Structure 1
């Protein structure tokens, strides 16, 4: 029986498994390895995107492309609406100290 690689047992998806197969056969300068176990597929994808970015591989996951697209669309909408960038808060707005009485509302 053939032993499976560690990433084939995790829920990292076929895209990550294929990337790991390719990079695990590359010549190495060092014999140091680390096994990271991600708590979710999304976290695993984020980690792999980060490692690929650090190693300067031209690879990005669908999650990364989708997140980048969402950020670009958000910025574009803000520019098209003519929003003042200085009006966007840089820190979270604190919740109000008191709330209006909602017990008399009809619902």
Structure 2
């Protein structure tokens, strides 16, 4: 598995920065019917447990339906409208031949 992922701003983030943390890795979408409640619940969980070592890593997903927005639109939506404070990363595939390395690793 690659040790770096791209954040929502296109910057490399080393996964080693999360060593020793409990990780909740989720694929998210801004146009899903459950988006508002999902981001709200994730934000609540993050706020409650971040001081105890929880990190939520949110990956906008291109599947099964393409996440429609650009990274800046996704960031604005998640951080402004949904008040997400956890890390949000670049859009990825979670299945198929173009699966992101982090999801390939998680499926092993």
Q: Does TM, normalized by the shorter one, top 0.5?
A: no
Query: Higher helix share goes to which structure?
Result: 1
Scaled to the shorter chain, the TM-score interval is under 0.3
Q: Which has the higher contact order (CA 8 A, sep 6+)?
A: 2
Q: Tell me the TM-score normalized by structure 2.
A: 0.23
Bigger-Rg structure (1/2)? 1
Query: Higher strand share goes to which structure?
Result: 2
Q: Tell me the TM-score normalized by structure 1.
A: 0.23
